Amino acid sequence: MGSSQRKHAVRTFNPQLHTLHAMLVSRAASHVASAMRPEGRDEALAEGIAEVIAHCGHAGLGLFLAAVWHWLDERDYHEAADTVQHYIESGTMPTVKPTPQPVRRRDARIT
């Protein structure tokens, strides 16, 4: 990592959230790696992104994606790493699809 990259990482990384950020990276990366289908990888990555935004805000998102990609690439999960790289290069993010909740039918009759 060059000095300019290191300076950028220091600016975008919240040192108070360092431990939490590392935990989110490792959990999201392992979920992406264990997904059998591309849709599952997208969903796992989207859930990780949602957690990072909830805990750290948008500032650390680029660093999070780079760390997830590095975790996957380092462990030879090349197909999963390619999925993450696609999102990094395209500047898009997968989104969590809401799961439909069964709605209890109401009885409108007056008794």
pLDDT tens digits, 14-69: 455 567 778 888 899 999 999 888 889 999 999 999 988 888 777 778 888 988 99
pLDDT tens digits, 66-88: 889 999 999 999 999 999 999 99
How far apart are alpha carbons 64 and 104 in whole angstroms?
39
**Domain extents in the chain:** 16-90
Q: What is the pLDDT, as a whole number, of residue 100?
A: 64
Phi and psi (nearest 5°) for 48? -65, -40
Nearest CA to 83 among 38, 21, 26, 25?
A: 38
* Token code pair at residue 89: 């290069």
